[in-house]
Each structure stands twice: as C-alpha cells, then as structure tokens.
C-alpha cells in the first residue's frame, strides 16, 4: 500500500490496466454468455463481486494474452485491445468491445511516479465494469453459438512475438456504436466502447 502514498509508476499502471482487462474480458464473456455460466466462479475485487472463468483452456489463453499485453503496456506500444465476438455458424462478427489505450510515452523516460492514488483509479475501473454489466440491457441477444477473439492494435514497428500473428480488424458490417466510460491511470488512458451489429428490427 506504499504505492497509494507515492502515486503510480509506469509498471504499476501497466499492471493495473492489464488487471482491468483480465476482469473486464471475464465479465464480458460471462455477461454475453460466450461460455456457460457454471464455468465461472465469484470473486470479490474492486470492492465488487466479479465472475472469473474456471475453464482451464480459457484461463491459459487469457493469462497468455494478458501477460503479453502487460509487456506492451509497459513499452507503451499498444493502441487498442478489441474483444471480437463471432458467430460460429456464419463467421459474422456480431460484437466488438473496443478499448482504446492512450499511452503517455513521456512516462517511459521519467520514472517519477504520477500523483494519482490506486483507490481513485480502481473507483474509475469499477464504474467502467459496472457499465459493461449494464450494457446487457440494450445489446441484442446472442442466439447462435459464438466464439471470441482478442485483437491487439500495436505500433507498426513492433516485432510480432511467437504464437502471435497478424489479423484483420474484424469490422462489423452495419454497426451501432455506444461509447462507455473511460478511466485513466494518468499514464494509460482507456476509452471503452462497444459496437454491435444492427438488427433488422431496430
């Protein structure tokens, strides 16, 4: 808890944001029913109860991605993280949860911590996750079996690590977009939004 007194460093910020992504992705997967609800377990974090997956394959995948993401966050080379939900029958992209990451690259040079307490940052994160939970009310129901994928928008000069490959942006044809809350650690600013396929009835 010394960091709360001192403020936040680049490393701490990267860890906080990565943690947010881990919880955020888990709660999206739970809320949108991509994985069956019985494979999730209840955890308390950010002073709220959250759902975490117990599926071993999904767990290993998420830890892989989030640890790599943490590295990129630390290097300030990541621009966006996108969670794409694809219909398995038609291969159509139905939802895109986009998290724009604005990195303050000056933090890379000066190691001086910023004056923002972890408590306030976590409050902001909590409100973002609450909003993600609340979006279920207006998002169309996913009726077909779906799978998800995580896209990371990085700087062009980044060397692609092993096990990773280039992908398309997976843009939704005819989408509606809704901006969600954003939070900032004063080093990384995360703007969240969700785009979903416009249904014919709407």
Please state the closest distance from residue 195 (CB atom) to other proteins, in A: 6
- Residue 198 C-beta: closest distance to other proteins, Å: 12
Pick 66 or 121: Cβ nearer other proteins:
66
Nearest residue to 25 via CA among 35, 14, 11, 15: 35
**Minimum CB distance to other proteins, residue 120 (Å):** 27
Least Cβ distance, residue 97 to other proteins (angstroms) = 10
Nearer to other proteins, 14 or 101 (CB): 101
Q: Please give the distance of CA 66 from its chain centroid, rounded to a whole number.
A: 9
Per CB under 8 A, residues contacting other proteins are: 57-58, 61, 64-65, 68, 79-80, 82, 84, 86, 88, 91, 96, 98, 100, 147-156, 158, 160, 163-172, 175, 177, 179, 193, 195
CA–CA distance, 22 with 41 (Å, rounded to integer): 14
For residues 115 and 162, which CB has a smaller minimum distance to other proteins in the complex? 162
* Closer to other proteins by Cβ: residue 136 or 171: 171
Give backbone dihedrals phi and psi of 67, rounded to 5 degrees, phi first: -65, -40
Which of 110-113's residues contact partners 24+ apart within 8 Å by CB, and which partners? 111/9, 111/10, 113/3, 113/6, 113/7, 113/8, 113/9, 113/12
């Amino acid at each position: 808890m010394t960091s709360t007194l001192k403020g936040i460093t680049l490393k701490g910020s990267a860890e906080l944001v990565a943690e947010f992504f881990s919880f955020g992705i888990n709660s999206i997967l739970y809320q949108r029913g991509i994985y069956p609800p019985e494979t999730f377990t209840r955890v308390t974090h950010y002073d709220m109860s959250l759902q975490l997956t117990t599926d071993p394959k999904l767990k290993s995948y998420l830890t892989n991605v989030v640890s790599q993401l943490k590295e990129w966050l630390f290097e300030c080379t990541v621009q966006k993280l996108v969670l794409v939900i694809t219909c398995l029958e038609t291969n159509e992209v139905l939802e895109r949860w986009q998290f724009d990451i604005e990195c303050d690259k000056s933090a890379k040079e000066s190691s001086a911590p910023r004056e923002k307490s972890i408590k306030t940052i976590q409050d902001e994160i909590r409100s973002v996750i609450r909003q993600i939970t609340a979006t279920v009310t207006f998002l169309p129901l996913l009726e077909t079996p779906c799978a998800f994928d995580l896209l990371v928008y990085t700087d062009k000069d980044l060397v692609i690590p092993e096990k990773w490959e280039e992908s398309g942006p997976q843009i939704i044809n005819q989408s509606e977009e809704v901006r969600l809350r954003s939070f900032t650690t004063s080093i990384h600013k995360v703007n969240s939004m969700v785009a979903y396929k416009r249904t014919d009835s709407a």
